[in-house]
Amino acid sequence: MLGEIALWSFVVLLLTGTFLTLWFRPSMAEVVYMGSYDQFRGLHMSEAYASSLDISFDVRGGLLMRQMHHWSAMLFIAAMMVHMMRVYFTGAFRKPRELNWVIGALLLLLGTLEGFTGYSLPDDLLSGTGVRAADGFLKSQPVVGTYMSFFLFGGEFPGDSIIPRLYTVHVLLIPGVLLALIAAHMLLLVYHKHTQWPGPGRTEQNVVGYPLLPVYAAKAGGFFFIVFGVTAAMGALLAINPVWKYGPYDPSKVTAGSQPDWYMGWPDGALRIMPGWESNLGPFTLSWNVLLPIIVLPVLMFTIVLLLPFIEAWITGDKRDHHLLQRPRNAPTRTAIFVALMTFYGLMWAAGGNDILATQLHLSINQITYFMRAAVFVGPVIAFFITRRWCISLQRSDNEKLLHGYETGIIMRSTEGGYAERHLPISESRAFALTSRDPDEPYSSDRGTDDNGVVARGSRIARVRAGLSSKWYENDVAAPTRAELEEGHHHAEHEHELQAGLDHPADGHQFDGHHTVEEGPLRDDH
C-alpha cells in the first residue's frame, strides 16, 4: 500500500506535469514581465520565470496544477522512503527479491534528482540559489570540476543553458527511466507474487489473498483516486513554493531560510556541519569541505542502501527463498542497523534546517551545529544498541505470551494473601503466527586447516563472516519448541491446579482444549 502511494503519486505527477508543459517555457532569454502580478510589472526576468508567473496568475487552474505537482512530488519521494523502510524492516528484500530492492533504490535516487531538476525549472530565487550551490559542488570536483561546471551551464554560471537542459532531463530522460524501472518493479512483483505475513493457512509455498479482479483492482484503483484527491486537497489549501514571493533568480540576492526541498535536506545538513577543510596540493585546491559531505557521503550512503540485501545475505549465509514477512522484532540486528541509518539520516536532516530550528526553538545556530557534529556519529551508535535491546525484549514478551498465555486482567487472591493474575492461552492461529519463524542459524564455516595443516584459501574471510554472523544473531530469542510449549502449558495448568487444590480445571483454563467447558464456570462463584 505504501508503494502504491508512490506509484499513484507518479501518475499524478505525469498528469499534472503534462498540463504544466503546455504553458511553461524552458528558456532563460530575458523578457519584460507584463502579466498580472503587479509587484513585478516591468521587471526583466527569464522566460522560464515569467511563464511560471503566468501559470500561477493568468491560467485558470494553473496555480492548482503547479501546487499539486509539487505536493505529489514530495509525496512520491516520501512514500518511496516509507515503503523502503517497510520492506527492509519486514525482510521483504531477501531472496528472491534482491533485484527488486535494487530497482527500488534506483527509483528513490532518480526520484530525488527528478525533484531537484523540477523545482529548479521556474528559475526563482530559492531554487536558483540551490543551482548556484550545485555549481559550487561541481567546481569542487578534482581535475574535472570546472569542466563539468562549464559544460553543464554552457559557460560561466549562470549562463543561459541550464534551465533548458534541466528541462530535458526532467521531462524526458528521467521520467523515461523511471517508467521503465517502475514497470520492471511491478513485473517482478507479479512474477514473485507479493509477500505475506505469517498466519493460519499461510506458508512459504502459497499466497493467500483476494483475487486481483475485482477486489484488488478496485482497492488499488480506488486508492489512486484517493491519492489524487488528497493531493488536490493539499494543492487547494496549502500554498507551496510561492515563486512570486521569491522573485526571479539574481546571483546577488538571497533569502534567509534557503533550503532545498526536504528530500535533499540531509546532504545539505552534512554540508552545513562540515568544518572548513581545504587542502592545497601545489597549484591545486582540494575542497574537502564540499567534496566529503555532498559527493562522497551521498554516494556512500546510496551504495550502502543498495547493497543491504547482499550484505545481510553474506553475513547470515541465508540462501533460501523467503516469502513470509518477519516482524522487525524477530530480526533485531537488522532492525537496529536500519534504525541507526535512519538516525543518521534524521540528524543530518535536522542539521539542514538548523536556522529554522534556531528561530523557532530560540536556539543558537552555532550550538546546533556543534551538537550535530558530534551527534551524527554518536546518535546512530546509541540508536543501534537501544533498538537491538528493545527488539530482544519484545521477542521475550512474545515468548511469554506463547508459554504463559495472555494477561486477562482477572486478579485472584490466594489463601495466603498473595495476588496473581490469571492468564489465558492465546488462540491457536495467533500462536501459529508467532511461531511461524525460521530458526536462526548463524553461518559457520567448516573451512579451516585440513589434515596436513594447510590453511584453506579464503578461510580468513570465512572466519570474519562466521564471526559477523554470530554477532548478527547474538542474544536473539528463538521461538519456543513444541516441547517447551507443551511444558509451559502443563506447568501453567499445574500451578493453578496446585493453587486451587481442585480436581477440575483451574479458573481460566476451561477453554484450553484439554477439557470440556461444562466442567466449571469461568469465574468462581464466591
Partner 1 sequence: MRFLNRSAGRLSRHRRGPLAGLLVLMLGLLLTGGLYTAFSPVQASDSASNEELVAEGRELFLTNCAFCHGQSGEGVRTIDGNQLGPSLIGVGAAAVDFQVNTGRMPLMQPGQQAPRKAPTFSEEETAAMAAYVASLGPGPAVPDPSDYSLEGMSDEERQEAIVRGGQIFLTNCTACHNFTGGGGAMPRGGYAPAILGVDPKYVYEAMLTGPQSMPNFSNGNLTPDAKRDVIAYLESIEENPDYGGFGMGGLGPVSEGLFAWVVGIGGLVGFCVWIAAHTTRSTKDKVTA
Partner 2 sequence: MTTREGDDNLPEKAPVPDPGLPDHTWRPTDVDEAAERRAERQIATLFGLSALCAVLFVVSYVTLDIGEVTTTFGGLGASNLALGLSLAGSLLFLGIGIIHWARKLMADHEIVEMRHPARSSDEDRTETVAALNLGIHESGIGRRPLVRNSLLGALGLLALPVPVVLLRDLGPLPGDSLEKTIWAEGMRVVRDVTGTPIRPAELQVGDLVNAEPAALFETDDEGEPLIEGVQLQVEKSKGAVIVVRIEPEEITPGEGREDWGVDGILCYSKICTHVGCPISLYERTTHHVLCPCHQSTFDLADAARVVFGPAARPLPQLALAVDSEGYLVAQADFDEPVGPSYWERDSRCASTPARWRRATPPPRPRRRSRVPPVPLPPGPTTGWAWPRRARSSCARSSPTTGRSCSVRSRCGASSSCCSPAPS
* The three cell numbers locating residue 29: 532569454
How far CA 260 is from CA of 59, 79, 129, 436, in Å, comes to: 27, 18, 9, 45
Q: Is 72 in the site for partner 2 (CB under 8 A)?
A: no
Q: Which of these segments, 17-25, 171-179, 289-297, 335-343, binds partner 2 (CB under 8 A)?
A: 289-297
Nearer to partner 2, 85 or 230 (CB): 230
Specify the residue, 252 or 360, whose C-beta has the smaller distance to partner 2.
252
Which residues 342-401 are close enough to bind partner 1 by CB under 8 A? 353-356, 358-360, 362-367
Candidates 216-224, 330-338, 378-386, 450-458 — which segment interacts with partner 2 by CB under 8 A?
Answer: 216-224
**Cα(97)–Cα(150) distance, integer angstroms:** 41
Identify which of residues 210 and 385 has a Cβ nearer to partner 1 in the complex. Answer: 210
Q: How far is CA 225 from CA 16, 82, 221, 308, in A?
A: 14, 20, 7, 34
Based on the shown chain and the rule CB under 8 A, indicate whether residue 209 belongs to the binding site for partner 2: yes
- 124 with 249: CB under 8 angstroms? yes
30 binds partner 1 (CB under 8 A): no
Q: Counting contacts by CB under 8 A, is residue 217 touching partner 1?
A: no
Where b means 16+ CB within 10 Å and e means fewer, 424-462 reads bbbeeeebebbbbbeebebbebebeeeeeeeeeeeeeeb
Residue 239 as a binder of partner 1 (CB under 8 A): the answer is yes
Show contacts with partner 1 in window 45-84 (CB under 8 A).
Answer: 56-57, 63, 67, 71, 74-75, 78-79, 82
Instruction: Please list, in sequence order, all residues whose beta carbon lies within 8 angstroms of the beta carbon of residue 76, skipping any fewer than 6 positions away.
Output: 6, 9, 10, 13, 111, 115
Stretch 96-135: interaction string toward partner 1, x if CB under 8 A: -----------------------------xx---------
Q: How far apart are CA 422 and CA 512, in angstroms?
A: 13
Q: Check residue 262 and report its DSSP letter.
A: G
CB neighbourhood size of 362 (10 A): 7
| Contact predicate 479/399, CB 8 Å | yes
Candidate ranges 41-49, 105-113, 303-311, 518-526; the one touching partner 1 (CB under 8 A): 41-49
User: Rule CB under 8 A: which of 314-333 touch partner 2?
Assistant: 317-321, 323
Where do contacts with partner 1 occur on this chain (CB under 8 A)?
1-2, 5, 38-43, 56-57, 63, 67, 71, 74-75, 78-79, 82, 125-126, 219, 222-223, 226-227, 230-231, 234-242, 244-247, 250, 252-263, 265, 353-356, 358-360, 362-367
